[in-house]
Amino acid sequence: MIEIADVSLVDWSRAQFALTAMYHWIFVPLTLGITIIIAFMETLYVKTGKEEWKKITKFWMTLFGINFAIGVATGIILEFEFGTNWSNYSWFVGDIFGAPLAIEGILAFFMESTFIAIMFFGWNKVSKKTHLLATWLTAIGANLSALWILVANGWMQKPVGMTFNPETARNEMNNFWEVLFSQTAVDKWLHATSSGFVLAAVFVIGISAWYLLKKREVLLAKKSILVAAVFGLISSVYLIMTGDNSTRTIANDQPMKFAALEGLYNGSEGAGLVAVGLFSTSETDPNNENLKDFSMKLEIPNFLSYMAFLDWNAFVPGIHDLIDGNEKYGYMPASEKIERGRVAIQKLGEFKEAKKAGNTQLANTLKTELTSESFQNNYFKYFGYGYFENPQDLVPNVPLTFYSFHTMVGLGFFFVLLFVLSIIYIVKGTFDKKRWFMRLAVISIPLAYVASQSGWIVAELGRQPWVVQDLMPTMAAVTRISAGSVQTTFWLFAVLFTVLLIAELKIMFRQIKIGPKH
């Protein structure tokens, strides 16, 4: 049967994935957004024929190129890491999960790499219009590649469009469109790409503001701010809308994640939203260290119910309702799910035994039972729970999820304000007179990265202990290898990526200092 790997192997494998994914995500959002901003700028160049727009375009392109190279470098690990470190996962769900990765390569990566070469080297080789087309296609290619990987991620959060095949011991796809157009996948794609747009807009405004503080490149800075702020404002409003949608999807599909990101322990009707909260460091639930009490909180009554279910009085389940069960509102206790999961695992084992013993008749009977709809809905649905001993292990790290979520949301509203003020000041011509605002714009750059990383912490830590929601716990997904090997590669990548990041930052800062080529 599927064996559970030892704790340190699981932890190191998770650490390695987190490290490589987070490093990769430092560079991806900027790529998603800045390619579009550059494409707008070049469009203005082609439309107006003004050389200054060409210069602006090329300047941002240079910064983009520096960022892109390291984005590619950190990305290749991820494509193969599912196999190298999560091979049990790769088999269990490969029939579904592999497809988006392949499509990503075939449809998006080639588009990106073909047209990026034209974008950088084609100025004197192709016509103006073709060049502009290439720039747009690079932007579209980048955002399309995000689509496929988020489809893959969305599927892990809410597995759809498949059935379990006991013969092969894996899940097999039976509906491609359900996988592609799952609400979770669509929400995630829209939210993640628009978060990239916002980050890129903050990046462009911040660097331009730095020039204005230094009284340099004034024309470039002002024009860039205008383009970026308008783009940023639209994107940030959209970002909040898509984030809000994601929240509702989670409330339905991943109630535990939802309860964690809101720090909701006891469910209630007309639940209030904790807008600001601080967990106490000492007081914890005696049964579960992930459950820390609030030492301070500011709550908006009924708001959570509305946010989750568009109904001011709806019942929102808390962590205790999900663990201990709540008969009144129809929540099954976790212990019951664990029992059912065990039945599913055991049945599968019996089937495998019968096959091995050559008892075809018994095997067939068991197979029929395993694949029957009632077994699927009543037992197999909880397959992953069967791995757990203690229901408390089903709770993610609440404080971290809560803080990350609230940081992200808070910054989301802050960016809207930043863009609105940027537009007002730039239109009124007072942007370069307000030193406080220029400084604020500069320090907003790291904040955008913080928001963006927080988003993934919410999405990925909030869903623990699952790698595939309800079906496969993280601990059952890892490759069977010595923890020492994974530890070695963890440090290898930690050092390599850090060195490359330092190089990238130094180059980036220097290029900003040098400014556009005159």
Partner 1 sequence: MFENLSHLALQHYWWVLVSILAALFVFLTFVQGGQTLLYSVGKTEGEKTIILNTLGRKWEFTFTTLVTFGGAFFASFPLFYSTSFGGAYWVWLAILAAFVIQAVAYEYRKKPANFLGAKTFEIFLVLNGLLGTILIGTAVGTFFNGAMFSLNDMNQVDWQTPYRGLEAVLTFHNVALGLAVFFLARVLGALYFIFTVEHETIVARSKKQLLYNTIPFLVFFLYFLIWLLLKEGFAVNPESGEVFMEKYKYLHNVLQMPLNSVILLVGIAGVLWGIISTLFMNSGKGFWFAGTGTVFTVFALFLLAGFNNTAFYPSVYDLQSSLTIQNASSSKFTLTAMSYVSLMIPFVLAYIVYFWRVMNRKKITEEEMQEESHVY
Cβ-proximal residues to 103 (8 Å cutoff; 6+ apart), any chain: 148
Taking residues 451 to 490 in sequence order and writing x for each that binds ligand HEM by CB under 6 A, - otherwise, the string is: xx--xx-xx--x----------------------------
CB of 259 to partner 1, least distance (A): 32
Among 4, 15, 22, 58, binds partner 1 (CB under 8 A): 58
Asked whether the CA dihedral 163, 164, 165, 171 is positive or negative, the reply is positive
Number of residues in contact with partner 1 under rule CB under 8 A: 87
Among 19, 26, 41, 70, binds partner 1 (CB under 8 A): 70
Q: Are 473 and 466 in contact (CB under 8 A)?
A: yes
Work out whether 235 is an interface residue with partner 1 (CB under 8 A): no
| Binding range to ligand HEM, per CB under 6 A, among 55-63, 123-131, 280-288, 448-456 | 448-456
Work out whether 159 is an interface residue with ligand HEM (CB under 6 A): no
Place of tokens 């850090």: 498
**Extended beta strands in 146-216, E state:** 162-165, 170-173
User: Among residues 6 and 269, whose Cβ is nearest to partner 1?
Assistant: 6
Q: What SS3 state is found at 388?
A: coil
Among 18, 22, 111, 343, binds partner 1 (CB under 8 A): 111
Question: Using H for helix, E for strand and C for coil, what is the string for 81-144?
Answer: HHHHHCHHHHHHHHHHHHHHHHHHHHHHHHHHHHHHHHHHHCCCCCCHHHHHHHHHHHHHHHHH
Site for ligand HEM in 320-339 (CB under 6 A): none
CA neighbor of 396 nearest in space, from 250, 260, 236, 192: 260
CB of 199 to ligand HEM, least distance (A): 5
User: Among residues 49 and 105, whose Cβ is nearest to partner 1?
Assistant: 105
Q: Are 425 and 431 in contact (CB under 8 A)?
A: yes
Chain-centroid distance of CA 205 in Å reads 24
Among 21, 192, 291, 322, binds ligand HEM (CB under 6 A): 192
Q: Give the separation between CA 206 and CA 208, rounded to whole angstroms.
A: 5
User: Among residues 77 and 459, whose Cβ is nearest to ligand HEM?
Assistant: 459
CB of 304 to ligand HEM, least distance (A): 12
Site for partner 1 in 154-173 (CB under 8 A): 165, 168-170, 172-173
Work out whether 204 is an interface residue with ligand HEM (CB under 6 A): no
| Binding range to ligand HEM, per CB under 6 A, among 190-198, 206-214, 309-317, 426-434 | 190-198
- The site partner of 97 among partner 1, ligand HEM, none (C-beta below 5 to 8 Å per kind) is partner 1
Site for partner 1 in 314-373 (CB under 8 A): 352, 356
Q: Are 112 and 142 in contact (CB under 8 A)?
A: yes
CA neighbor of 139 nearest in space, from 116, 110, 121, 117: 116
Q: Are 225 and 209 in contact (CB under 8 A)?
A: yes
- The site partner of 188 among partner 1, ligand HEM, none (C-beta below 5 to 8 Å per kind) is ligand HEM
Long-range contacts, 211-218 (Cβ 8 Å, 24+): 211/515, 212/431, 212/432, 212/438, 213/435, 213/438, 213/439, 213/442, 215/432, 216/515, 217/515, 217/516, 218/432
CB of 481 to partner 1, least distance (A): 6
Site for ligand HEM in 208-247 (CB under 6 A): 239-240, 243-244, 246-247
Q: Are 511 and 66 in contact (CB under 8 A)?
A: yes
| Binding range to partner 1, per CB under 8 A, among 63-71, 220-228, 363-371, 439-447 | 63-71
User: Among residues 76 and 276, whose Cβ is nearest to partner 1?
Assistant: 76
How many C-beta atoms lie closer than 10 Å to residue 499's C-beta?
10
- The site partner of 491 among ligand HEM, partner 1, none (C-beta below 5 to 8 Å per kind) is none
- The site partner of 17 among ligand HEM, partner 1, none (C-beta below 5 to 8 Å per kind) is none
User: Among residues 139 and 240, whose Cβ is nearest to ligand HEM?
Assistant: 240
CB of 130 to ligand HEM, least distance (A): 33
Q: Give the separation between CA 388 and CA 390, rounded to whole angstroms.
A: 6
Q: What SS3 state is found at 223?
A: helix
Work out whether 31 is an interface residue with ligand HEM (CB under 6 A): no
Q: What SS3 state is found at 491?
A: helix
**Where do runs of H (alpha helix) occur along 214-270?**
218-253, 255-262
Site for ligand HEM in 389-408 (CB under 6 A): 408
- The site partner of 243 among partner 1, ligand HEM, none (C-beta below 5 to 8 Å per kind) is ligand HEM
Work out whether 116 is an interface residue with partner 1 (CB under 8 A): yes
Site for partner 1 in 171-200 (CB under 8 A): 172-174, 176
Work out whether 143 is an interface residue with ligand HEM (CB under 6 A): no
Work out whether 21 is an interface residue with ligand HEM (CB under 6 A): no
Query: What's the token pair of residue 436?
Result: 């406080």
Question: Using H for helix, E for strand and C for coil, what is the string for 287-324?
Answer: CEEEEEEEEEEEEECCHHHHHHHCCCCCEECCHHHHHH
Among 195, 422, 469, 489, binds ligand HEM (CB under 6 A): 195
Work out whether 241 is an interface residue with partner 1 (CB under 8 A): no
CA distances from 242 to 78, 95, 189, 286, 421 (A): 26, 29, 9, 37, 23
